[in-house]
Amino acid sequence: EAQVTQNPRYLITVTGKKLTVTCSQNMNHEYMSWYRQDPGLGLRQIYYSMNVEVTDKGDVPEGYKVSRKEKRNFPLILESPSPNQTSLYFCASSFNILENTEAFFGQGTRLTVV
Amino acid sequence: GQQVMQIPQYQHVQEGEDFTTYCNSSTTLSNIQWYKQRPGGHPVFLIQLVKSGEVKKQKRLTFQFGEAKKNSSLHITATQTTDVGTYFCAGQAGNNRKLIWGLGTSLAVNP
Protein backbone atom coordinates (compact mmCIF):
# COMPACT_ATOMS: atom_id res chain seq x y z
CA GLU A 1 0.00 0.00 0.00
CA ALA A 2 1.33 3.41 -1.02
CA GLN A 3 1.82 5.47 2.07
CA VAL A 4 3.75 8.05 4.04
CA THR A 5 4.56 6.92 7.57
CA GLN A 6 5.38 9.30 10.37
CA ASN A 7 6.51 8.43 13.86
CA PRO A 8 5.67 9.08 16.56
CA ARG A 9 2.01 10.08 16.27
CA TYR A 10 2.04 11.86 19.60
CA LEU A 11 4.95 13.26 21.59
CA ILE A 12 5.22 15.32 24.75
CA THR A 13 8.69 16.58 25.53
CA VAL A 14 10.46 19.20 27.59
CA THR A 15 12.11 22.38 26.40
CA GLY A 16 15.61 21.80 25.09
CA LYS A 17 15.49 18.04 24.70
CA LYS A 18 16.49 17.10 21.18
CA LEU A 19 13.97 15.06 19.23
CA THR A 20 13.52 13.55 15.78
CA VAL A 21 10.29 12.88 13.96
CA THR A 22 10.74 10.26 11.28
CA CYS A 23 9.06 10.19 7.88
CA SER A 24 9.24 7.42 5.33
CA GLN A 25 7.51 6.95 1.97
CA ASN A 26 7.32 3.81 -0.16
CA MET A 27 6.36 5.41 -3.49
CA ASN A 28 9.85 6.31 -4.75
CA HIS A 29 8.89 9.98 -4.64
CA GLU A 30 11.53 12.59 -5.29
CA TYR A 31 9.90 15.51 -3.47
CA MET A 32 9.31 15.49 0.26
CA SER A 33 8.38 18.25 2.67
CA TRP A 34 7.48 19.02 6.24
CA TYR A 35 4.59 21.21 7.32
CA ARG A 36 3.31 22.47 10.60
CA GLN A 37 -0.38 23.15 11.10
CA ASP A 38 -1.58 25.62 13.70
CA PRO A 39 -5.15 26.90 14.26
CA GLY A 40 -5.91 29.80 11.97
CA LEU A 41 -2.56 29.56 10.19
CA GLY A 42 -3.18 26.67 7.83
CA LEU A 43 -0.30 24.55 6.57
CA ARG A 44 3.10 26.21 6.64
CA GLN A 45 6.08 24.58 4.99
CA ILE A 46 9.12 24.09 7.20
CA TYR A 47 11.63 22.41 4.88
CA TYR A 48 11.50 20.58 1.60
CA SER A 49 13.71 18.24 -0.37
CA MET A 50 13.70 17.86 -4.13
CA ASN A 51 15.82 14.72 -4.05
CA VAL A 52 18.51 12.90 -2.11
CA GLU A 53 20.98 15.31 -0.49
CA VAL A 54 18.98 18.31 -1.78
CA THR A 55 17.12 20.22 0.92
CA ASP A 56 15.97 23.81 1.28
CA LYS A 57 14.16 26.07 3.69
CA GLY A 58 10.45 26.58 3.50
CA ASP A 59 8.51 29.42 5.05
CA VAL A 60 9.15 28.69 8.74
CA PRO A 61 12.51 26.86 9.05
CA GLU A 62 13.82 28.44 12.27
CA GLY A 63 14.48 25.87 14.98
CA TYR A 64 14.31 22.88 12.64
CA LYS A 65 16.75 20.73 10.69
CA VAL A 66 16.23 18.02 8.10
CA SER A 67 18.30 15.51 6.20
CA ARG A 68 17.71 13.42 3.08
CA LYS A 69 20.32 10.71 2.94
CA GLU A 70 18.01 8.19 1.32
CA LYS A 71 15.16 8.77 -1.07
CA ARG A 72 12.51 7.22 1.16
CA ASN A 73 13.36 8.97 4.46
CA PHE A 74 13.10 12.61 5.47
CA PRO A 75 13.47 13.08 9.23
CA LEU A 76 12.65 16.34 10.99
CA ILE A 77 15.02 17.29 13.80
CA LEU A 78 14.35 19.73 16.60
CA GLU A 79 17.74 20.33 18.24
CA SER A 80 16.39 22.37 21.13
CA PRO A 81 12.58 22.36 21.14
CA SER A 82 10.72 25.32 22.57
CA PRO A 83 7.05 25.72 23.52
CA ASN A 84 6.33 27.72 20.35
CA GLN A 85 7.09 24.56 18.38
CA THR A 86 4.05 22.86 19.92
CA SER A 87 2.07 22.02 16.81
CA LEU A 88 0.69 19.34 14.50
CA TYR A 89 3.36 18.26 12.01
CA PHE A 90 2.81 16.62 8.64
CA CYS A 91 5.26 15.03 6.30
CA ALA A 92 4.25 14.93 2.64
CA SER A 93 5.70 13.47 -0.53
CA SER A 94 5.01 13.78 -4.23
CA PHE A 95 6.54 12.28 -7.36
CA ASN A 96 8.27 15.56 -8.17
CA ILE A 97 7.28 19.21 -8.52
CA LEU A 98 6.89 19.25 -12.29
CA GLU A 99 4.38 16.47 -12.89
CA ASN A 100 2.25 14.18 -10.77
CA THR A 101 2.53 16.78 -8.06
CA GLU A 102 -0.27 15.37 -5.92
CA ALA A 103 0.95 15.42 -2.32
CA PHE A 104 0.55 12.37 -0.11
CA PHE A 105 0.48 13.21 3.59
CA GLY A 106 1.48 11.20 6.60
CA GLN A 107 -0.90 10.73 9.51
CA GLY A 108 0.61 13.61 11.45
CA THR A 109 2.62 14.02 14.63
CA ARG A 110 1.13 16.02 17.45
CA LEU A 111 4.02 17.55 19.39
CA THR A 112 3.71 19.28 22.74
CA VAL A 113 6.74 21.04 24.21
CA VAL A 114 6.43 21.96 27.89
CA GLY B 1 5.03 37.40 -1.55
CA GLN B 2 2.75 35.02 -3.35
CA GLN B 3 -0.50 34.41 -1.52
CA VAL B 4 -3.64 32.38 -1.93
CA MET B 5 -6.65 33.79 -0.11
CA GLN B 6 -9.42 31.33 0.71
CA ILE B 7 -12.93 32.26 1.81
CA PRO B 8 -14.96 31.74 3.84
CA GLN B 9 -12.91 30.59 6.82
CA TYR B 10 -15.89 28.71 8.27
CA GLN B 11 -19.22 27.58 6.91
CA HIS B 12 -22.06 25.96 8.79
CA VAL B 13 -24.85 24.44 6.68
CA GLN B 14 -27.87 22.23 7.09
CA GLU B 15 -27.59 18.84 5.49
CA GLY B 16 -28.86 19.10 1.94
CA GLU B 17 -27.75 22.70 1.42
CA ASP B 18 -25.05 23.63 -1.06
CA PHE B 19 -21.58 24.83 -0.12
CA THR B 20 -18.91 26.78 -1.98
CA THR B 21 -15.38 27.77 -1.07
CA TYR B 22 -13.29 30.18 -3.11
CA CYS B 23 -9.57 30.68 -3.62
CA ASN B 24 -7.93 33.76 -5.08
CA SER B 25 -4.26 34.04 -5.92
CA SER B 26 -2.17 37.18 -6.16
CA THR B 27 -0.30 35.63 -9.08
CA THR B 28 -1.06 33.40 -12.04
CA LEU B 29 -0.92 29.75 -11.11
CA SER B 30 0.36 26.86 -13.20
CA ASN B 31 -2.18 24.60 -11.52
CA ILE B 32 -4.34 24.39 -8.44
CA GLN B 33 -5.01 21.43 -6.20
CA TRP B 34 -7.76 20.78 -3.69
CA TYR B 35 -7.44 18.74 -0.52
CA LYS B 36 -9.85 17.63 2.20
CA GLN B 37 -8.87 17.15 5.82
CA ARG B 38 -11.34 15.33 8.04
CA PRO B 39 -11.36 16.27 11.74
CA GLY B 40 -8.36 14.59 13.37
CA GLY B 41 -7.04 13.45 10.01
CA HIS B 42 -4.51 14.46 7.41
CA PRO B 43 -5.01 16.34 4.13
CA VAL B 44 -6.10 14.07 1.29
CA PHE B 45 -5.76 15.05 -2.34
CA LEU B 46 -9.05 15.55 -4.18
CA ILE B 47 -8.18 16.94 -7.59
CA GLN B 48 -5.83 19.04 -9.69
CA LEU B 49 -6.88 21.65 -12.26
CA VAL B 50 -4.40 22.76 -14.88
CA LYS B 51 -6.17 24.42 -17.80
CA SER B 52 -7.65 27.89 -17.92
CA GLY B 53 -11.42 27.70 -17.38
CA GLU B 54 -11.28 24.01 -16.50
CA VAL B 55 -14.26 22.43 -14.75
CA LYS B 56 -14.12 18.98 -13.19
CA LYS B 57 -16.74 17.02 -11.30
CA GLN B 58 -16.54 14.29 -8.72
CA LYS B 59 -20.05 13.16 -7.86
CA ARG B 60 -21.51 16.09 -5.87
CA LEU B 61 -18.28 18.13 -6.00
CA THR B 62 -17.58 20.61 -8.80
CA PHE B 63 -14.19 22.24 -9.17
CA GLN B 64 -13.48 25.26 -11.35
CA PHE B 65 -10.29 27.02 -12.40
CA GLY B 66 -10.67 30.62 -13.54
CA GLU B 67 -9.90 31.86 -17.00
CA ALA B 68 -6.96 33.90 -15.74
CA LYS B 69 -5.72 30.95 -13.65
CA LYS B 70 -5.82 33.12 -10.54
CA ASN B 71 -8.94 31.84 -8.87
CA SER B 72 -10.69 28.58 -8.21
CA SER B 73 -13.78 27.28 -6.48
CA LEU B 74 -15.10 24.08 -4.99
CA HIS B 75 -18.85 23.64 -4.91
CA ILE B 76 -20.62 20.82 -3.08
CA THR B 77 -24.23 20.13 -4.02
CA ALA B 78 -26.60 18.85 -1.34
CA THR B 79 -24.11 18.46 1.47
CA GLN B 80 -23.99 15.35 3.59
CA THR B 81 -22.53 14.79 7.05
CA THR B 82 -19.67 12.93 5.38
CA ASP B 83 -18.60 16.23 3.79
CA VAL B 84 -17.56 17.62 7.17
CA GLY B 85 -13.93 18.74 7.27
CA THR B 86 -11.57 21.45 6.14
CA TYR B 87 -11.07 22.05 2.44
CA PHE B 88 -7.76 23.49 1.28
CA CYS B 89 -6.71 24.83 -2.05
CA ALA B 90 -3.02 24.87 -3.00
CA GLY B 91 -1.65 26.54 -6.08
CA GLN B 92 1.65 26.01 -7.82
CA ALA B 93 3.46 29.05 -9.13
CA GLY B 94 6.88 30.39 -9.92
CA ASN B 95 9.98 28.73 -11.26
CA ASN B 96 10.32 26.49 -8.22
CA ARG B 97 6.69 25.35 -8.59
CA LYS B 98 6.18 25.80 -4.86
CA LEU B 99 2.75 24.89 -3.47
CA ILE B 100 1.07 27.95 -1.97
CA TRP B 101 -1.66 26.95 0.43
CA GLY B 102 -4.89 28.69 1.27
CA LEU B 103 -5.81 28.75 4.96
CA GLY B 104 -8.71 26.40 4.40
CA THR B 105 -12.48 26.50 4.80
CA SER B 106 -13.92 24.46 7.66
CA LEU B 107 -17.30 22.98 6.80
CA ALA B 108 -19.76 21.86 9.47
CA VAL B 109 -22.96 20.09 8.44
CA ASN B 110 -26.01 19.85 10.70
CA PRO B 111 -27.92 16.59 10.20
Give the per-residue pLDDT at A73. Answer: 98
Mean pLDDT of chain B, nearest integer: 95
Q: Cis before residue B43, ω within 30 degrees of 0?
A: no
DSSP state of A103: P
pLDDT greater than 80 at residue B95: no
Q: How far apart are CA A85 and CA A69, in angstroms?
A: 25
Choose the mutation target among A9, A55, A56, A101 for the interface with B, i.e. most B CBs under 10 Å: A101
* Bond preceding residue B8 cis, omega within 30 of 0: yes
> Which pLDDT belongs to residue A100?
63
Whether pLDDT at B94 is above 80: no
Distance from CA of B90 to the nearest CA of A (A): 10
Q: How far is B79 from chain A (nearest CA, A)?
A: 23
CA-nearest of A84, A85, A114, A104 to A25 is A104
Contacts of B31 in chain A (CB under 8 A): 101
Residue B3: pLDDT band (50, 70, 90) is confident
Could you give the CA distance from residue B56 to residue B63 in angstroms, rounded to a whole number? 5
Count CB atoms within 10 A of the CB of residue B65.
Answer: 24
A105 in contact with chain B, both atoms CB, cutoff 8 A:
yes
Q: What is the pLDDT of residue A43?
A: 95
B33-84 pLDDT, tens digit per residue, is 999 999 999 999 999 999 999 999 999 999 999 999 999 999 999 999 999 9
| Phi, psi dihedral angles at B52 (to 5 degrees) | -55, 130
A107 vs B contacts (CB less than 8 Å): 41-42
* Positions in chain A short of pLDDT 50: none
Q: Is the pLDDT of residue B97 over 80?
A: no
Is the CB of B44 less than 8 angstroms away from the CB of A106? no
